[in-house]
Amino acid sequence: MLTIILLSVATCLVFLYFKYSNRPKNFPPGPRGFPVVGYLPFFGTNPGESFYKLKEKYGTVVSVQVGREYWVILNGFDTIHNALLKEGEKFSGRPSNYIFEIITKGKGLVGVDYGPAWKTLRKFGNQALKGFGVGKKSMEEHIIEEIPFLLESLTSSGNKTIQV
């Protein structure tokens, strides 16, 4: 009786694994991983080498499961060039992270996905930095003017700490 129950539970677990571990539609090919950890144990000490081996088997665009997430790995200069320069808007998003969402409450520039909100925040940030002189020649001139004084104070102090 116990054997039948264990066999039933194992069958249900295998069924659930295959039901929920399917790749999303239109995803590139790639190897299957273990339940929960995915392909992570196969990365080894040098993941780049592992990705290169996957390139030989599956092509320049490969997908692997890492934990509960699916990663798309781009191998090869032409593939990366095409993705980042010619298809930039498709590859400029941010992955969603549950813990990060809790901490930031959906606000801030770092976690915002590419879109109208990101463009607005970026524009505001650039304008604020320009107000402080970032990107202007005058700021560079002030820094170059102050460097000799900084070097003089550092060399005259020897190995002692200084306060500026």
How do residues 50-66 score in pLDDT, each as one tens digit?
A: 888 888 888 888 888 88
Q: Identify the H or E element spanning 61.
A: strand 61-66
Whether 42 contacts 62, CB under 8 Å:
no
The helix/strand count (H/E) of the chain reads as: 6, 2
Domains of the chain by residue range: 24-92
- Specify the amino acid at residue 42: F
Determine the 3-state secondary structure of 38 from DSSP.
strand
The closest of 44, 46, 17, 11 to 32, measured between CA atoms, is: 17
The whole-number pLDDT of residue 148 equals 92
The Cα–Cα gap between 29 and 57 comes to 10
Average pLDDT, the chain: 80
Q: What is the pLDDT of residues 74-89, one digit of tens each?
A: 888 898 898 888 887 7
- Compute CA 40 distance to the chain's CA centroid, rounded to the nearest angstrom: 16
Q: Over 70: is that where the pLDDT of 164 sits? A: no
> What average pLDDT does range 97-107 have in this prediction?
75
Summarised one tens digit per residue, pLDDT across range 122-134 is: 888 888 888 877 7
Q: Are 34 and 14 in contact (CB under 8 A)?
A: no
Range 112-125 average pLDDT: 82
Pairwise CA distance, residues 141 & 101, whole Å: 41
Q: How confident is the model at residue 29 (pLDDT cuts 50, 70, 90)?
A: confident
Which of 27-31, 32-36, 79-83 ranks highest by mean pLDDT? 79-83
Residue 111 DSSP class: T
